[in-house]
Amino acid sequence: MTFKMGDQVRITYQGKSIDGEVFLSCSTGLSVTLTFNGWLESYAGLMPVMWVDDGYIDLVYGHRVGIDRLGKVIPWPETSGTYSLVK
């Protein structure tokens, strides 16, 4: 799977996940820089990754990084009252 700048993603690293964004991506999508709010293990807001063999790894420690594209966010209309699924 290749990514482009601005893609919203879920990053999984060392058993922890956080939502983020593709900040930079090379034309082939094999080298990507991810941004996110907060900490993900020893990374604070920025993680460079590269595709190696069959998946992405972080460039500092060489650990596997899971990156999943998030779907589009559809705004939910504000409602009031109580609703029941059973009549």
SS (H, E, C) 49-71: EEEECCEEEECCCCCEEEEEECC
Q: Do the beta carbons of residue 60 and residue 48 sit within 8 Å?
A: yes
Question: What confidence tens digit (pLDDT) does each residue in 33-73 have?
Answer: 999 999 999 999 999 999 999 999 999 999 999 999 997 65
Q: Is there a domain that residue 21 lies in? A: yes
Q: Is there a domain that residue 87 lies in? A: no
Q: Is there a domain that residue 83 lies in? A: no
Query: Into how many domains does the chain fold?
Result: 1
pTM (2 decimals)? Answer: 0.77
58/60 Cα distance (integer angstroms): 6
pLDDT at residue 81 above 90?
A: no
Angle at 62 between CA 34 and CA 30, to 5 degrees: 50
Q: Quickly state the pLDDT bin for 77 (edges 50, 70, 90).
A: low
pLDDT, position 87: 46
4/72 Cα distance (integer angstroms): 15
